[in-house]
């Protein structure tokens, strides 16, 4: 019943992004038969895990999950350990290791922190697919400091066509920004008038911007050897993230702000209306 | 999940509905639960809670204005009968169709009415001055010197995939000479994504005794002038919050470009990583 999955996806597009995990869990509880459809098509914040063998952090999502276990890109081991967990073929694993190193450099250059993970898997029709994950979280040192998190999920499919490869890329970026203003903490540090404005009002509040955006692209790139797949997808993902970062900036800081101003005006609308009427009258008077 | 738990989960979804999208969420939930019979009665409490919390507006029977349906608008001692002090009408509200029925004249608190009416007049002119398409209601709490000023402004634009809601509530307490306020803004932008702004802002002010002891007219005008000032400042401070989140958090999470101000040279990223042991001195970035 594709119809049911459509309704679940429509619902997830409407409910608050801050509660996506709780809501997906509830939907899985209502329709356990559709758990795989749902988990495969709704992007959730990436979970941070630590590789037991190397001590390095990696990202967990539906793509490196087998049952209840997650595979680390660094040691190729499942945690909790799995006897017969799915792993890439040796050839693909070699590419996966190189891809993890390359995107780790990419992560450091753009995010200056955070964690990255790349997972590859073979496709039935001969090609392969992969996911490039990036996550950075900013934890405030004080309640007045802004907090935020960025999660990138780039899923691609690669099909080799002679000396060319065709790529299909679907990118989702989840971004959350929270700012807390006023409140008892500032109050203590700055005395009784801490959160009191000059006008005598005592204020406190929180602003949260959260959400996700998804974009797709298909491109052909030349192929020299297997490592070309990394330079090709690297360039595509870099280009896509730059484009989407601009888009997120526009929507988060432009569009949502404009809508607030569509609800309430700082300027006195009645005064502006009166002025316009007066102007009209004057113009009419001059014409006469 | 048994039937009761499913209704509970459905109710939770409904309570999270973004501005103007309760019917969309309800349609999705109907499809997902696919048990209209138990759903219809089961989710009614959630719909009621949503309507009251979201300051749902209603066309008042026999009047040419809209009123807010909220907890403060509930007729004391009645569950489903609400009243509009402006037209002195009470009505039964249907939480599913959002329609009022069975209008009846309502007796009002004569002691509180002069100040309530003055507060209402001042609120309506404030509404005219600063809200596009706003609705306001002012309620007197029987047997106390407490008044509720409630404002809601909605903009729904489904064809452009966005909606917004501004809610304000002020409790004017003439016994304690104080005003306690709350502003909640929700914006949903969902073109190829799901981005939500959610803010909450609380404020409180001690009223100068001169304001409280004045005649109802001047006193109410002064209180609304104070509210106008506070809300204007809040809206302006939202701009600062936006700026801060853009400059600090957004840029801190991911750079627009690496420190080198150019995109990565992927061939060198790969060459560097693979040949790191051979020539550690080779630069990562090219000039191209």
> Phi, psi at residue B131, to the nearest 5°?
-120, 135
* Cβ pair B31, A7 in contact under 8 A: yes
Same domain as B119, residue B246: yes
Strands B134-140 and B89-93: unpaired
Closest chain B residue by Cα to residue A261: B235
**Residue A31 C-alpha from the chain's centroid:** 26
- Break chain A into its structural domains and give their ranges: 88-182+205-283
To probe the interface with A, which of B158, B193, B244 has the most A CB atoms within 10 Å? Answer: B193
Same domain as B122, residue B233: yes
Chain-chain contact of A12 with B255 (C-beta, under 8 angstroms): no
* Å between B171 CA and nearest CA of chain A: 14
Provide the b/e sequence for A95-128 (b: ≥16 CB within 10 Å). Answer: bbbbbbbbbbbbbebbbeebbbbbbbbeeeeebb
**Nearest Cβ partner of B193 from A8, A29, A214?**
A214
Provide the pLDDT for residue A185.
Answer: 39
Same domain as B100, residue B25: no
CATH number for the domain including B210? 3.90.1150.210
* Å between A161 CA and nearest CA of chain B: 21
| Residue with the two structure tokens 């607030």 | A260
Same domain as B24, residue B12: yes
Of A34, A38, A240, nearest to A132 by C-alpha is A240
Same domain as B91, residue B155: no
Q: Which helix (H) or strand (E) holds B198?
A: strand B193-206
Same domain as B221, residue B116: yes
Report the distance separating Cα A97 and Cα A120, nearest Å.
Answer: 10
Does the beta carbon of B203 lie under 8 angstroms from any beta carbon of chain A? yes
Of A155, A68, A79, A173, nearest to A118 by C-alpha is A155
Report the distance separating Cα B272 and Cα B274, nearest Å.
Answer: 6
Chain A residue numbers with beta carbons less than 8 Å from the beta carbon of B207 are: none
Q: Count of A–B CB contacts within 8 Å?
A: 279
* Cβ pair A177, B245 in contact under 8 A: yes
CATH number for the domain including B64? 3.30.1140.60
Of A50, A53, A129, nearest to A96 by C-alpha is A129
Does the beta carbon of A142 lie under 8 angstroms from any beta carbon of chain B? no
**Nearest Cβ partner of B129 from A12, A31, A270?**
A270
pLDDT at A1 over 60: no
* Å between A6 CA and nearest CA of chain B: 9
Six-digit token string for B124: 């309506």
Chain-chain contact of B189 with A238 (C-beta, under 8 angstroms): no
Same domain as B123, residue B103: no
Provide the pLDDT for residue A192.
Answer: 37
Which is higher by pLDDT, A146 or A204?
A: A204
Of B139, B113, B136, B115, nearest to B125 by C-alpha is B136
With a CB-CB cutoff of 8 Å, which residues 256-285 of chain B face chain A?
256-260, 263-264, 266-267, 269-270, 272-274, 284
Tens of pLDDT, residue by residue over B102-153, are: 999 998 889 999 999 999 999 999 999 999 999 999 999 988 899 999 999 9
Same domain as B167, residue B70: no
Same domain as B92, residue B20: no
* Å between A146 CA and nearest CA of chain B: 6
Strands A65-66 and B66-69: unpaired
Domain spanning A88-182+205-283, CATH class:
alpha beta
Chain B residue numbers with beta carbons less than 8 Å from the beta carbon of A149 are: 253
Chain-chain contact of A23 with B16 (C-beta, under 8 angstroms): yes
> Phi, psi at residue A249, to the nearest 5°?
-60, -45
* Cβ pair A171, A209 in contact under 8 A: no
Strands B66-69 and B81-84: unpaired
Same domain as B134, residue B214: yes
Chain-chain contact of A211 with B252 (C-beta, under 8 angstroms): no
pLDDT at B287 over 80: no
How large is the angle between the packed helices A256-263 and B216-244, nearest 10 degrees? Answer: 170
Q: Length of chain A in residues, anyone?
A: 288
Give the mean pLDDT of chain B.
92
Chain A residue numbers with beta carbons less than 8 Å from the beta carbon of B261 are: none
Six-digit token string for B77: 């001692």
Same domain as B82, residue B152: no
With a CB-CB cutoff of 8 Å, which residues 227-256 of chain B face chain A?
229-239, 241-242, 244-246, 248-250, 252-256
Exposed / middle / buried, residue B101 (Cβ in 10 Å: 0-12, 13-18, 19+): exposed
Instruction: Work out the average pLDDT over A265-273.
Output: 90
Mind spelling out the 3-state secondary structure of chain A? CHHHHHHHHHHHHHCCHHHHHHHHHHHHHHCHHHHHHHHHHCCCCCEEEECCCCCCEEEECHHHEECCEEECCCCCCEECCCCCCCCCCHHHHHHHHHHHHHHHHHHHHHHCCCEEEEEEEECCCCCEEEEEEEEEEECCCCCCCCEEEEEEEEEEEEEEECCEEEEEEEEEEEEEEEEEEECHHHHHHCCCCCCECCCCCEEEEEEEEEEEEEEEEEEEEECCCCCHHHHHHHHHHHHHHHHHHHHHHHHHHHHHHHHHHHHECCCCHHHHHHHHHHHHHHHHHHHC
Chain B residue numbers with beta carbons less than 8 Å from the beta carbon of A118 are: none
Tens of pLDDT, residue by residue over A183-224, are: 653 433 333 334 566 678 899 999 999 999 999 999 999 999
Q: Which domain holds residue B47?
A: 1-54
pLDDT at B285 over 70: no
Instruction: Work out the average pLDDT over A70-82.
Output: 95
Asked, for residue B258, whether it belongs to a domain, the answer is: no
With a CB-CB cutoff of 8 Å, which residues 52-91 of chain A face chain B?
none
Same domain as B122, residue B88: no
Give the mean pLDDT of chain A.
91
**Nearest Cβ partner of B28 from A11, A207, A230?**
A11
Chain-chain contact of A271 with B254 (C-beta, under 8 angstroms): no
**Residue A138 C-alpha from the chain's centroid:** 14
Provide the pLDDT for residue A126.
Answer: 84
pTM (2 decimals)? 0.91
Tens of pLDDT, residue by residue over A19-40, are: 999 999 999 999 999 998 898 8
| Residue with the two structure tokens 């490592």 | A227
To probe the interface with B, which of A1, A3, A6, A14 has the most B CB atoms within 10 Å? Answer: A14
ω before B132 within 30° of 0 (cis)? no
Q: How many domains does chain B have?
A: 3
């Amino acid at each position: 019943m594709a119809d049911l999955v459509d309704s679940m996806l429509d619902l997830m597009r409407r409910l608050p992004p801050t509660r996506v995990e709780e809501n997906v869990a509830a939907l899985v509880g209502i329709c356990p038969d559709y758990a795989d459809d749902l988990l495969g098509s709704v992007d959730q914040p990436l979970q941070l895990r630590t590789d037991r063998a190397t001590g390095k952090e990696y990202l967990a999502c539906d793509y490196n999950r087998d049952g209840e276990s997650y595979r680390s890109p660094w040691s190729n081991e499942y945690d909790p350990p799995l006897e017969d967990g799915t792993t890439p073929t040796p050839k693909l694993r070699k590419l996966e290791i190189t891809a993890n190193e390359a995107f780790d450099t990419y992560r450091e250059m753009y995010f200056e922190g955070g964690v990255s993970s790349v997972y590859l898997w073979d496709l039935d029709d001969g090609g392969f697919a992969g996911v490039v994950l990036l996550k950075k979280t900013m934890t405030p040192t004080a309640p007045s400091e802004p907090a935020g998190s960025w999660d990138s999920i780039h899923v691609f499919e690669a099909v080799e066509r002679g000396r060319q490869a065709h790529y299909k890329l679907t990118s989702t970026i989840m971004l959350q920004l929270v700012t807390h203003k006023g409140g008892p903490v500032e109050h203590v540090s700055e005395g009784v008038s801490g959160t009191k404005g000059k006008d005598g009002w005592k204020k406190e509040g929180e602003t949260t911007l959260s959400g996700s955006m998804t974009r797709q692209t298909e491109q052909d790139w030349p192929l020299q050897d297997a490592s070309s797949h990394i330079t090709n997808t690297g360039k595509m993902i870099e280009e896509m993230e730059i484009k989407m970062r601009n888009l997120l900036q526009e929507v988060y800081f432009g569009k949502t702000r404009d809508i607030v101003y569509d609800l309430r005006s700082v300027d006195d609308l009645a005064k502006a209306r009166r002025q316009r009427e007066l102007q009209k009258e004057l113009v009419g008077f001059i014409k006469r | 999940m048994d039937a009761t738990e499913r209704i509970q989960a459905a109710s939770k979804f409904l309570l999270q509905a973004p501005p103007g999208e309760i019917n969309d969420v309800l349609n999705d939930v109907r499809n997902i639960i696919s048990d209209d019979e138990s759903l219809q009665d089961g989710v009614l409490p959630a719909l009621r809670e949503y309507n009251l919390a979201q300051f749902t507006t209603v066309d008042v029977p026999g009047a040419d204005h809209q009123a807010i349906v909220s907890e403060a608008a509930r007729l004391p001692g009645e569950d489903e009968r609400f009243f509009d002090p402006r037209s002195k009408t009470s009505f039964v509200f249907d939480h599913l169709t959002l329609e009022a029925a069975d209008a009846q004249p309502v007796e009002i608190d004569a002691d509180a009415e002069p100040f309530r009416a003055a507060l209402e007049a001042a609120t309506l002119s404030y509404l005219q001055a600063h809200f596009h398409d706003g609705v306001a209601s002012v309620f007197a709490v029987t047997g106390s010197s407490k008044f509720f000023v409630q404002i809601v402004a909605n903009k729904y634009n489904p064809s452009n995939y966005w909606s917004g809601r501004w809610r304000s509530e002020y409790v004017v307490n003439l016994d304690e000479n104080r005003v306690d306020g709350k502003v909640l803004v929700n914006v949903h932008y969902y073109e190829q994504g799901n981005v939500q702004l959610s803010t909450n802002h609380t404020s409180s002010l001690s009223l100068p005794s001169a304001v409280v002891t004045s005649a109802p007219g001047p006193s109410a005008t002064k209180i609304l002038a104070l509210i106008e000032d506070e809300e204007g400042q809040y809206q302006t401070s939202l701009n600062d919050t936006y700026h801060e989140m853009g400059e600090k958090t957004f840029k801190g999470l991911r750079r627009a470009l690496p420190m080198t101000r150019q995109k990565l040279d992927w061939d060198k990223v790969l060459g560097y990583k693979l040949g790191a042991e051979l020539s550690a001195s080779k630069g990562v970035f090219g000039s191209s």
